Each structure stands twice: as C-alpha cells, then as structure tokens.
Amino acid sequence: MDAVLVANAGSSSVKFQLFGLSERGDPLRLIKGQIDGIGTRPRLRAQARDGSSLADKAYPALEIADVAAAMTVAAEWLRQTQAVKLIAVGHRVVHGGPDYDRPVRIDAEVLARLERLSPLAPLHQPNNLAPIRSLLAHRPALPQVACFDTAFHRVHAPVADRYALPERFYREGVRRYGFHGLSYEYVAGRLREIAPAVAGGRVIVAHLGSGASMCALADGKSVESTMGFTALDGLPMGTRPGQIDPGVLLYLFAEKGLDAAAVENLLYRESGLKGMSGISNDMRELEASDAESAKLAIDYFVYRIGLNAGMLAAALGGLDAFVFTAGIGENSPAIRGRVAEKLGWLGVSLDPAANAAGKSLISGANSKVGLYVVPTDEELMIARHTLALVSARAERAISAGG
C-alpha cells in the first residue's frame, strides 16, 4: 500500500502519523505515534487507527539524543512493522517567510532558505527542519513537502500585512505573517461541513493551546490574526507573553543589561502562563490549583482573549460564529464558558449543558452568534497537501513524457 508519512517535530518530541490512501485517493489515517523525552527519557508510542497500542518502548537517552535521531528511529520502526510503500513525507514548518505562500517540495535550496528563518521561530523552526535535513541526507529520492503555518494568512490585505515602519523593512520581509495556519485551514473546511450556514460568514477561530492565537475568517479566508512577525504576539501562551510593549524590551536591554539571548529565553520559555503563575505552563494544572497566581494567570488569559475577540470582530465588521479549537479550546469547558461570558456584548449566550458535554454546538438557542467546538487536525491537512503536491508533480511528469 502507498502511504504518506506526516512529521511534526518539536524541541523534545517528534509526532508522526502514517496515512494510506482510500479508494477515492484521500488520506486515510493508519497510525498515530510520537517519540517524546528526546535526550532524557526517550519513549516511542504508537496507536493503530482503532486506538489499540502498537508500540510502547523506552530507549537509552544516548540512543535518541536529538530530533534527527528520533526521526530515524520512528522511520525504522515503521519500515519494520508496516507493509507500506512510503511515497512522500509531509512536514509542519512553522515559518515560511515572504517566499512561501503554499506547500512546496523540499530540496537543498528550499532547506537553506528555511534555515535562514530560524531566528524568527527559535522554538520551532530548527526542530521542524532537523528531520528534513536527515531524510535529505539518507533518502534523497524520497519526496518531502513543507507545509507552512504562515501560508494560510498570506492573503491578508496590505493594511493588515504591514507594520508602521519604513518600507524597506517590509521589502526585507518584516511583516505580519500570522501562524497556526494549518489548524485554521482545517477548521475552516470542517466548519463548512458541520455549520454551512455560518461558515461563509464572519467567523473568529480561537486556537487555544500551549501556543495560542486567534484568526478572523471571512468566507473561510484569513483576514486578520493575533500573531505577527513571530509566534510571540497576541494572546498569552504557555511560556510566551503575547502582546507586549516594545518599550519593555528596550528597557530590558538598556536598564537591566540583558543581552539578546537572555531576552529570547525570557520571551519564549519563561513568560506566559508559566511566568505569571510561577507554577506551570499547563492550563490543567492551573485550573486545579488554589494559588492566587494561578487564578491571575487564568484571568489574564481569558481577559486577553476577550480583548482580541473585539479587535477581530471589528476587522470583520461583525460576528456570525466563534469557534474553539486546540488543546485548551477543545478540552476545557471552564475556559470556554468564561470566554463566552466575555463575548456577551456581541450577543453570545452559552448552553451550559452542551458546553459541559463537549458538543460541537455550544451556544444557547437565543444566541446571536454561534459558538462551536471543532477539534483541529493539522496532520490530516499536511497529508492532504503532501499528497496533492506529489500527485500533481507525477501527473506533470506523465504529461511531459507523453
């Protein structure tokens, strides 16, 4: 069976999924797995489509010391246990910069361009690219496709795409990119299936997880996002602060004597829910805590979601639906309820029972705005893009030969 492998590499884990092809040629999820604890306590876990366990194995730390090694181990496990023919690998790549507004087949030149964007996404980009580099070295003939979190937002109008800086910086690529685009693209498509009456209207999608952002959609297309040049802007996140006055950074440099590396570490790893609470970057732990600092962090998270919802509703000229997705958005009825309360001025009313039960539609009967919970599936989106790009390339080759 032909199959597509999807890889989503982070700093200490590699998530992977294997997709076969249905009779119609659509991606069909076969396996979902990950290797976490890279460099400390590596562990491979994998599940079949029905949820049954296929693997649960620990490794010595030195055997899987980095992301590239983890990808090698995952690929070898798949080769030994799965009777499939791998036709392509699709990768989530956080930043596509000004060059890439759609998925692209990866070669050495593309990889070099993407590596230059690593300072704009230091938590993600180097790790996203590590398995790509490894596969290019060991299996150069295997097609690899980069799918970008920024691509979905590249249709923004110029007024939403720019900062109030001299034009030369825009030409150099300093602009508002937006992120979580693969998630928003999937949710926009899924909304057309479950709520076609509102999917073509004015919709805010809140991707609330360890990384968090919000996106304004008009007719399923991105018109504004809370994130900008990097994945630091907008909402507070697990370890990132969200919107911050640039003057704070100048103060840290000039008055506190911090260098660029120290400020980067502060902004990417020590701020957000973790920094405010002093307890954890995990919303589940904060919700279970009685500490006042945990309560403050949650209050701040909800408050900023409410503020940004107002901004995005203004960009849309009104609101027809609000969608929750990602880890917190999909799994925390309490956060959904508090956000809904913040949106009351927009005509939002919540159905508490539907919210507690995790239904797809959680707005009350009299709500002027539909409230939805739509689980995201970035990996399926990557598989679709990868398959489409590889298939189109094969068809062009056949046409050229014929």
Sign of the alpha-carbon torsion through 169, 174, 175, 176:
negative
What is the torsion angle, in degrees rounded to the nearest 10, for the CA atoms of residue 111, residue 391, residue 375 and residue 71? -40
3-state secondary structure of 333: helix
Crossing angle of the two packed helices 67-81 and 125-138, in degrees rounded to 10: 50
Active site residue 50: no
Where do runs of H (alpha helix) occur along 243-282? 246-254, 260-269, 272-277
Beta carbons within 8 Å of 398's beta carbon, 6+ residues apart: none
Residue 363 near residue 336, CB atoms below 8 Å? no
Distance CA 80, CA 77 (A): 5
Beta carbons within 8 Å of 14's beta carbon, 6+ residues apart: 7, 8, 34, 35, 38, 67, 70, 71, 74, 131
Sign of the alpha-carbon torsion through 176, 177, 180, 183:
positive
* Angle, CA 328 vertex, CA 325 and CA 332 arms, to 5°: 105
Closest by alpha carbon to 8, among 138, 185, 130? 130
Q: What is the DSSP string of 123-171?
A: TTHHHHHHHHHHHHHH-TTS-EEEEESSGGGTT--HHHH--SS-HHHHH
Strands, E assignment, 190-276: 202-208, 212-218, 221-225
The number of helices, as runs of H, and strands, as runs of E, in the chain is: 16, 13
Q: Write down the catalytic residue from 26, 56, 149, 290.
A: 149
Both tokens of 104, joined, read: 């692209």
Tell me the backbone φ, ψ of residue 63, rounded to 5 degrees. -75, -30
* Angle, CA 130 vertex, CA 129 and CA 136 arms, to 5°: 85
Beta carbons within 8 Å of 333's beta carbon, 6+ residues apart: 355, 356, 358
Would you please indicate which residues are annotated as catalytic (active-site) residues? 149
